[in-house]
């Protein structure tokens, strides 16, 4: 969610099964529907929207894992570069279930459900 098609395309060329929410749901789909889709399909949600962390906490969900981007620049190249750096480092943790905040120089990982 909120990730450029260019970023998605780069990861797809690398063999990563990454898709944009808009390819499965309407552009105006509510956050709850997006979260439920990720839960049902076993996907990790990558977003710049802080609402998803709140929804995970409110519902006490232990899935999906969530990557929230809090970068000073959100252009496709910056996002792509940072995700290419971060994802390999946290791949195992994502499989276990976590909420990750990715900043320019810092990665914060919290287990879920968020208490």
pLDDT in tens, 11-46: 999 999 999 999 999 989 999 999 999 999 999 999
Q: Given this model, what pLDDT does residue 1 score?
A: 67
Confidence (pLDDT) at 2? 82
> In the chain, what is the greatest distance between 2 CA atoms, to the nearest angstrom?
37
Q: Supply the pTM of this predicted model.
A: 0.93
Mean of the pLDDT values across residues 78-105?
A: 95
Dump pLDDT digits (tens) for 54-76: 999 999 999 999 999 999 999 99
Instruction: Check whether 114 has a pLDDT greater than 90.
Output: no
- Long-range Cβ pairs for the range 94-101 (8 Å, 24+): 94/44, 94/65, 94/67, 95/65, 96/65, 97/62, 97/63, 97/65, 98/65, 98/66, 99/53, 99/56, 99/65, 99/66, 99/68, 100/65, 100/66, 100/67, 100/68, 101/68, 101/70
Domain definitions of the chain by residue range: 5-111
């Amino acid at each position: 969610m909120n990730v450029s098609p260019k970023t998605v395309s780069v990861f797809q060329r690398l063999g990563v099964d990454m898709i944009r929410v808009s390819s499965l749901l309407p552009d105006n789909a509510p956050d709850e529907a997006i979260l439920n889709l990720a839960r049902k399909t076993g996907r990790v949600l990558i977003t710049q929207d802080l609402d998803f962390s709140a929804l995970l906490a409110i519902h006490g969900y232990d899935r999906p894992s969530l990557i929230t981007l809090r970068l000073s620049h959100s252009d496709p190249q910056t996002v792509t570069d940072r995700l290419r750096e971060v994802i390999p480092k946290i791949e195992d943790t994502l499989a276990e279930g976590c909420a990750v905040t990715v900043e320019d120089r810092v990665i914060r990982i919290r287990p879920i459900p968020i208490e």
